[in-house]
């Protein structure tokens, strides 16, 4: 019974939502819009579950002083402090001088931007070590990457003689081989999503219920 009722709900809700694309009547869409709102409420509720899970997983490790407990303690303290000032500042959290805005601008923003900016350094290192013309496939990849990198910036356009042709060649790479490959991936992924969706609706795929 624990899995039968969720399976029945999944079946009817799944079919009903798919039906929206085949029955474009406004009365039908009132109901699908209602279900969407339920979905949004559940999505917001998932944040509460995430919060509880984070505490449930990390707090015992801090209490027992397990490996890396210090990092987990910093994370939990940051969580509590940010949550507290967020609730405290309420609707005024984006105002100048608000503690929440200060935390966002001077703690979160530099950390978040630093993590992303580090990519430039690791990409340079990885490109140097990995881009070797070891065989035909690797050479094609290497040449395409260099052309795109060069043509994407004004420096490529400024190169005498080939400068005019580089952006055209780059556009050809992006518009022809790139699109062909991306569309193949999109269509494959879409067919996979349809198959998975059908398996979920028909109850053949039950991993979302916690079963294998």
Partner 1 sequence: MKLFDALERFQNMDRRWIFLGMGLSILIPLLVTADCEFKVDERVQALYDTVEALPAGTTVFLSADFDPASRPELEPFFRANLDHLFRKDIKIISATLWEFAPPIVVPILHEIAAAHGKEYGVDYAFLGYKPGKELAIKAIGENIPKTFPVDYQGTPVEDLPVMQGFKQAKDFPLIVNVSAGFPGTREYVLQIQGQHNLTIISSCTAVSGPDYIPFYKAGQLAGLAAGMPGSAQYEKLVWADSEPPPGTRKLATQAINVLNMGHAFIIALILMGNIAYFLTKPRGGDDD
What count of other Cβ atoms lies within 10 Å of the Cβ of residue 156? 20
Examine residue 194 and tell whether it contacts partner 1 (CB under 8 A).
no
Task: Say how far apart CA 19 and CA 7 lie, in whole Å.
Answer: 18
CB of 91 to partner 1, least distance (A): 5
Q: Residue 135 — left, alpha, or beta (φ > 0 → left; ψ -120 to 50 → alpha)? A: beta
CA distances from 59 to 50, 54, 77, 125 (A): 14, 8, 11, 37
Examine residue 167 and tell whether it contacts partner 1 (CB under 8 A).
yes
Examine residue 39 and tell whether it contacts partner 1 (CB under 8 A).
yes
Q: Which residues of 62-72 are buried (b: 16+ CB within 10 A; e: fewer)?
A: beeeeeeeeeb
Residue with token string 């940051």:
78
Q: Which of 68, 97, 128, 161 binds partner 1 (CB under 8 A)?
A: 128
Cβ proximity to partner 1, 158 vs 211, nearer residue: 158
| Token representation of residue 82 | 């940010």
Examine residue 109 and tell whether it contacts partner 1 (CB under 8 A).
yes
CB of 76 to partner 1, least distance (A): 19
Cα radius of gyration (the chain): 26
DSSP for residue 34: H
Region from 8-16, 51-59, 80-88, 102-110 binding partner 1, contact rule CB under 8 A: 102-110
Residues in touch with partner 1 (CB under 8 A): 21, 29, 32-33, 36-37, 39-40, 43-44, 46-47, 91, 94, 101, 104-105, 108-109, 112-113, 115-116, 120-121, 123-125, 127-129, 131-134, 142, 145-146, 149-150, 152-155, 157-158, 167, 171, 174-175, 178-179, 182-183, 186
């Amino acid at each position: 019974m624990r899995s039968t009722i969720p399976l029945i709900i999944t079946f009817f809700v799944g079919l009903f939502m798919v039906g929206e694309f085949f029955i474009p009547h406004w009365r039908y869409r009132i109901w699908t819009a209602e279900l969407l709102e339920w979905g949004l409420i559940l999505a917001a509720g998932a944040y509460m579950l995430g919060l509880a899970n984070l505490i449930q997983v990390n707090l015992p490790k801090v209490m027992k002083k397990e490996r890396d407990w210090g990092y987990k303690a910093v994370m939990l303290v940051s969580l509590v402090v940010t949550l507290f000032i967020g609730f405290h500042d309420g609707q005024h959290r984006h105002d100048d001088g608000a503690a929440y805005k200060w935390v966002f601008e001077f703690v979160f923003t530099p950390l978040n931007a630093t993590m992303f900016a580090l990519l430039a350094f690791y990409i340079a290192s990885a490109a140097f070590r990995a881009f070797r013309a070891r065989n035909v496939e690797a050479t094609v990849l290497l040449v395409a990457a260099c052309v795109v990198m060069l043509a994407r910036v004004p420096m490529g356009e400024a190169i005498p003689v080939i400068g005019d042709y580089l952006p055209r060649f780059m556009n050809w790479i992006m518009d022809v081989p790139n699109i062909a490959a991306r569309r193949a991936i999109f269509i494959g992924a879409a067919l996979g999503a349809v198959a998975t969706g059908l398996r979920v609706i028909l109850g053949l795929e039950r991993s979302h219920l916690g079963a294998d």
